[in-house]
Amino acid sequence: MKGIIKEYLESQARIDPCFKAKYNPEHLDHCIDYLFKNAEKLANKERCVAVKDETVFKWARDYFNDEINVKEEEERNKPVTPCKKAEDEPEESESELQARIEESRRKAEENRKKREEEERSKREHANGQMTIFDILGG
């Protein structure tokens, strides 16, 4: 993929002098990361997504045209300042933290069961008949 993107960007730099001024092949790895991030956003919570070639090529051009590469480089070079806790904010004990984690897990499990029940109910009411999966408990 990297080779294809590089070939495309270099061809664009040959035919477009404005793009050529902004294109920097040293930032190609960061550009590829940017493309993957955009694809992940499209995928949302799915495991995979298909993105058209022309969309990926547009993102790659935008990465250099919109100077996203410059902005990202500035962000990477910024000194990191550690976050300070508010002075009046009490420290959370280990047991309190574990209780919050357990509560979060319990709620997640409840939500999962609720979603499964809603999906099962939709399937049953879709045509008034149960499916083999409903009978088998799926």
**How many domains is the chain built from?**
2
In a domain, 86, yes or no: no
Check whether residue 70 and residue 110 sit in a common domain: no
The model's pTM is 0.49
Same domain, 72 and 99: no
What is the span of the domain harbouring residue 131? 94-136
Alpha-carbon span 11 to 26, nearest angstrom: 16
For residues 98 and 71, membership in a common domain is answered with: no
Query: Do 69 and 40 belong to one domain?
Result: yes
In this prediction, residue 14 carries a pLDDT of 92
- Unique residue bearing structure tokens 């420290």: 91
Instruction: Tell me the mean pLDDT per 10 residues along the chain, length 138.
Output: 89 89 88 87 76 88 77 61 54 75 83 83 64 65
82 assigned to some structural domain: no
In a domain? residue 85: no
